[in-house]
Structure 1
């Protein structure tokens, strides 16, 4: 039964999964199913001085709000564009004396927005925010304690004199945010910097091998007038051809986890049991936990797997501390233990390869980084969907590393491959795709020059050999 629709997607009863969205017509690979502006969004606490609170771009030398001293913006234009969203928050922060955590700030922004629109925001919004699922009844005791603490803090933050709400309703809003909040990335799509709420996106159900992907499009903020700025928005894009009436799905978690681990994460954070094909049939689990072709003993595999898990925890700790020499030392030790024991598709080996290639690239040791990046990509290609955005960005990173290492031809090939994937997942107008297009053009030019120089060298060598006197003539 369809109970609401927009041009390409309709709301329907998805049975045990509750509500869902399905395609109202056939959709092509890479097509934008729908775009949706943020209902409300906030920058993470850890990035509040590094990311513009209006456009969510990472920038140097941001301008601070002169009143609350908390919000930061690219410039006056971004600040003006965000004032309608920030003005009540600004007063609340000043009254409290400090900014509360991101969850509190987002809940308040959601409520201020709801008061302003008093119902469904636009004709294209299929349901109002308060109709979204909160799963408060499904929360374990630990989550309920945190919820109670957040509600108490919220009550202090929420300015007096405005419309008051019951504890139950505030709890409902926090539950909605916990279950439906969408992590928002910076302008390059490479780092999570905030969280937002998108009511239509919340209706798209999960599948570990989905037919759609979600990306954040920051739009254009180059106009001098804030009125001409385009809104930050998500885009739901088709990863393959989708038939009319087929359910639209996205993945709530990274596929590179064993089925039981994905199910555990989904149950913990979203309160449902995943019964998708890849979970029920444990597809690719054998590759993600595979032993090397040398066929080591089961005890050896178990020993190295345990060592790898412990080592990865140490690697992450050293990485957070910025101790990159320790990171490299631990990665090399771990890879040495894994050699001839764990396959290159094993999750723990892939995680070590990803870290060591990234850190070596950061330290400009590109030749060594390239060797690890190449192995990482080969493993990813055997596991990820061919149009997966994380696969695309991993291939991009590897291509750039190879390019900087002087391996231009292979680097150019990887950059082209990544560009093909990200054109589907991100589209031609996203900042990361534009960056890739520029790199693709540059590496193509360098490759042509390299081949021309090679040809010139061979011609000069052949000419020189022809001029050398024969052994008989020199006697």
Structure 2
């Protein structure tokens, strides 16, 4: 893939080191640049559920007959990935098992460097060697993990030409520069990759860009074009010429001190962006409920916060155990306790609403799920950037939940709103946006039907949900055989 980097240039960003800035004015949704991975691997836990070539989550994947570890959508995906997998395939066969993703990614990076050096195209603005590793800044626990990974790597690649110091350098680079890859629906992290140009984009808690993974074109039969997975850096708002490009390394939905702590631990720098320096929106994220000018006591707020943290831990354990009815019980109990104390934007309240709406939707209690999802979106809209991808995904899920609950007007409005956001963050060709476009058209049709005759609409909806045959009708809308409710 030829890298077109005409929109950006490297510059000295002061204490932040190197950075990227734009060389022209950019509009919201514009692709600043796209970049294929230098190397990428699927997470160990999902190795049999995600294609190792295009990183799409699929059923009935085909296993590599040689190493019996890598899995692919089909032979075309396998062929497209062979150049990246062939040395790994031989190493896994000889090692008789696959090491963890850190070791596998380090090996892939070193094999790529050995083959192509650290520069793979004229558009690559920095070599892998020039990226920061921060090994000297690692905490004792992280350094201990590094030593274990180093030993596993040497067992996995005993004939490596690289010295221990250089291998350690690559491990460090991956730890603080690796980019998490999501599946085609953007709902789950499925792997990690290294993108050298993206590594030059500095952090801001209120960034002007976002990064998404484009999984390539699976409709082509030519392996050379089948799986051109790449990240796309997209503008979230209008960006002026010579303005620095930034992305968020951590989720904004944390108070500034927690974000700073996470950034210091993972990326080894002190964030001094405006959001952190001025503690912007921290008051909303920890807001107590105010009624007629009166707020609950600090002691009561503290007690409910402690109760919420305990409850969130129990909810996580119940989710892991698959006991979703227990999750619902815990969420209802916690939300009931939070209601008179926390504001609508309190982080613990939003986290509980998020879990409750998702699990209730999974259990098909759509009316209650829709109520919680609507409240979640209301809180998110006061906290997130208007074009934030997390906000867009939350509105999409809320729209689908309302649709499932038979609240077609609100569902359609939310789906349209989510579509507008994801057109900016993901673009028109991403699978999520295409799904949303289909849902937007379907809900628009159903909304017209609803406005024509509510009784007929609800009767047809009930029949569709119960897989019953529908009566013939005269209008185009009435000839819809079933109502598609795909999340």
| 2:345–2:382 CA contact under 8 A, matched in 1 | yes
| 2:53–2:227 CA contact under 8 A, matched in 1 | no
Question: Structure 1 stretches of 5 or more lacking a match?
Answer: 458-475
Aligned to 2:27: 28
The whole-number CA distance in structure 2 between the counterparts of 1:6 and 1:387 is 24
Give 1:291-302 correspondences, 5 Å limit: 291-294=288-291, 295-302=295-302
Aligned to 2:333: 333
The whole-number CA distance in structure 1 between the counterparts of 2:446 and 2:405 is 13
The whole-number CA distance in structure 2 between the counterparts of 1:386 and 1:267 is 27
Aligned to 2:485: none
The whole-number CA distance in structure 2 between the counterparts of 1:358 and 1:414 is 16
Q: Secondary structure at the match of 2:232?
A: strand
1:187 aligns with 2:210: no
Deviations 1:357-376 (A, max 9, x none): 00011111111100000000
Q: CA deviation at 1:455?
A: 10
Give 1:1-400 correspondences, 5 Å limit: 6-160=5-159, 163-294=160-291, 295-400=295-400
Aligned to 1:467: none
1:408 aligns with 2:408: yes
| 1:119–1:128 CA contact under 8 A, matched in 2 | yes
Q: Secondary structure at the match of 1:36?
A: strand
Q: Aligned-pair RMSD on alpha carbons? A: 1.2
The whole-number CA distance in structure 2 between the counterparts of 1:280 and 1:322 is 41
Q: CA deviation at 1:191?
A: 0.6
The whole-number CA distance in structure 2 between the counterparts of 1:264 and 1:454 is 53
Q: Secondary structure at the match of 1:98?
A: coil
Number of residues of Structure 1 aligned to a counterpart in Structure 2: 451
Normalising by structure 1, we get a TM-score of 0.93
The whole-number CA distance in structure 1 between the counterparts of 2:276 and 2:318 is 33
More displaced stretch, 114-123 vs 298-307: 114-123
The whole-number CA distance in structure 1 between the counterparts of 2:37 and 2:224 is 17
Deviations 1:143-188 (A, max 9, x none): 111111111110111152xx51111100000000000000000011
Q: Secondary structure at the match of 2:250?
A: coil
Structure 1 residues 456, 176: CA separation in 2 closer, same or farther (over 3 Å shift)?
closer
Aligned to 2:477: none
Question: Structure 2 stretches of 5 or more lacking a match?
Answer: 458-487
Q: CA deviation at 1:297?
A: 1.0
The whole-number CA distance in structure 1 between the counterparts of 2:454 and 2:87 is 65
The whole-number CA distance in structure 2 between the counterparts of 1:399 and 1:448 is 17
Q: Secondary structure at the match of 1:196?
A: strand
| 1:92–1:159 CA contact under 8 A, matched in 2 | no
Whose radius of gyration is greater, 1 or 2? 1
Deviations 1:401-444 (A, max 9, x none): 00010000000000000000000000000000000000000000
Q: CA deviation at 1:221?
A: 1.9
The whole-number CA distance in structure 2 between the counterparts of 1:287 and 1:62 is 45
Deviant stretches of 4+, over 3 Å: 454-457
The whole-number CA distance in structure 1 between the counterparts of 2:117 and 2:371 is 57
Aligned to 2:436: 436
Q: CA deviation at 1:137?
A: 1.2
